[in-house]
């Protein structure tokens, strides 16, 4: 964790006393302490606040309220807080300045602040402990926010890929609606089937190998919800086994029949009726499997999504 300490130079010694007891993993950006010789002061500080630090502590007293540097640093930090949509600025009162904090853009009635107005050894020690606890609390909240964002990203990726798979699968299944007599002699109808199969295969080549990855990542992220993890495994296994390797794979039998009829110049009426009945059976089975998958996927995504609210 890296924190920026905004303060008036007159209060540097007090600020050091308050922060020197912070845990070793907390890296402190203390204006010129973090500057290399020759660096320009303003751009380096602006970069630290806008990009390099996790929190900005604003130490407020009469000197800070009169400091143009503290005002500018606080303004930059508040802008960053707005962009991050999380706590980024932690005001620390070195004096009881009350509503005068508003001169820095900090409204004491709207923003929580820490008090370090007792400058005795005991008071400093107590304020330092409170500061460390507050940083830990906000860091924990930030980690939980990042975890939720990571879960959201994983869920969105799965939902997007499932939607794409569903779309190309339904398109292939729908392209088989014509009779075999039409599919085997009508070039436009056959081209529609051929293009639909090509799109389906292209998506499956990317998507099916990723099912195991989606399963493992999501069950790890939601590992505390055992029943939900079982649903994830069941639904994704069904997508692969019941749909991809099952009902959709069996549609290849229709493709073979089309090629056979095209090569042989057709078939007797009785044979054609039998083949059409088989085509309709396979096509209906594929559509039913896709509809079950769609319902199961929608329910699963909804359950996972509700965990993020």
Read off the pLDDT of residues 135-148 as tens digits, 9 standing for 90 and up.
888 877 766 655 66
Above 90 in pLDDT, residue 89? Answer: yes
Please report where in the chains the tokens 């999380």 appear, as a residue.
Answer: 86
Largest CA distance in the chain: 104
Out of 54-68, 82-96, 141-155, 290-304, which region has the weakest mean confidence (pLDDT)?
141-155
Above 60 in pLDDT, residue 38? Answer: no
At 31 the pLDDT is 56
Residues 121, 53, 59, 103, Cα dihedral to 10°: -170
At 41, list the tokens: 């002061």
Mean pLDDT of 86-91: 90
CATH 3.40.50.10140 residue ranges for the chain: 2-117
Q: Of all residues in the chain, what percent are helix, strand and coil, respectively (each to 5)?
A: 75, 5, 20
At 125, list the tokens: 């020690």
At 159 the pLDDT is 94
At 137 the pLDDT is 86
Give the CA count within 13 Å in the CB-facing half-sphere of 308. 19
In terms of pTM, does the model score above 0.75? no
Distance between CA 71 and CA 75 in Å, rounded? 6
Find all residues with CB under 8 Å of 56, minimum gap 6, and list them: 3, 4, 5, 6, 49, 73, 74, 77, 80, 88, 89, 90
266: Cα separation from own chain's centroid = 54
Give the Cα-Cα-Cα angle 293, 302, 242 (nearest 5 degrees). Answer: 15
Is the Cβ–Cβ distance between 297 and 162 less than 8 Å? yes
Confidence of residue 168 (pLDDT cuts 50, 70, 90): very high
Mean pLDDT of 170-198: 93
Find all residues with CB under 8 Å of 296, minimum gap 6, and list them: 235, 238
Above 60 in pLDDT, residue 40? Answer: no
Is the Cβ–Cβ distance between 94 and 116 less than 8 Å? yes
Q: Where are the beta strands (DSSP E) in the chain?
A: 2-6, 27-29, 55-60, 89-93, 114-115
Is the Cβ–Cβ distance between 15 and 5 less than 8 Å? yes
Above 70 in pLDDT, residue 36? Answer: no
Dihedral pair phi/psi, residue 155, rounded to 5°: -65, -40
Domain 2-117 has CATH 3.40.50.150: no
Mean pLDDT of 40-54: 79
Quote the mean pLDDT of the chain.
Answer: 88
Find all residues with CB under 8 Å of 171, minimum gap 6, and list them: 196, 199, 200
Tens-place pLDDT, residues 185-206: 899 999 999 999 999 999 999 9
């Amino acid at each position: 964790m890296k924190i920026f300490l905004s303060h008036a130079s007159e209060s540097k010694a007090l600020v050091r006393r308050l922060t020197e007891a912070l845990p070793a993993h907390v890296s402190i950006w203390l204006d010129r302490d973090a500057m290399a010789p020759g660096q320009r002061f303003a751009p380096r500080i602006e970069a630290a606040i806008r990009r390099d630090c996790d929190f900005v502590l604003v130490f407020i007293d009469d000197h800070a309220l009169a400091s143009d540097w503290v005002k500018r640093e606080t303004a930059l930090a508040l802008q960053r807080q707005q962009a991050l949509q999380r706590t980024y600025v932690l005001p620390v009162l070195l004096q009881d300045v009350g509503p005068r904090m508003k001169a820095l853009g900090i409204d004491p009635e709207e923003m929580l602040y820490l008090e370090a107005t007792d400058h005795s050894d005991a008071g400093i020690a107590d304020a330092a402990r409170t500061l460390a606890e507050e940083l830990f609390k906000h860091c924990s909240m930030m980690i939980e926010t990042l975890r939720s964002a990571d879960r959201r990203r994983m869920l969105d990726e799965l939902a997007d890929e499932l939607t794409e798979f569903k779309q190309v699968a339904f398109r292939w299944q729908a392209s088989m609606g014509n009779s075999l007599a039409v599919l085997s002699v009508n070039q436009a109808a056959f081209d529609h089937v051929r293009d639909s199969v090509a799109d389906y295969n292209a998506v499956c080549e990317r998507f099916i190998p990723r099912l195991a990855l989606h399963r493992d990542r999501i069950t790890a992220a939601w590992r505390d919800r055992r029943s939900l993890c079982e649903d994830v495994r069941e639904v994704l296994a069904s997508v692969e086994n019941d749909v991809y390797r099952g009902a959709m794979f069996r549609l290849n039998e229709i493709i073979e029949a089309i090629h056979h009829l095209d090569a042989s110049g057709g078939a007797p009426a009785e044979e054609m009726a039998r083949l059409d009945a088989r085509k309709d059976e396979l096509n209906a089975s594929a559509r039913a499997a896709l509809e079950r998958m769609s319902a199961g996927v929608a329910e699963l995504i909804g359950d996972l999504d509700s965990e993020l609210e």
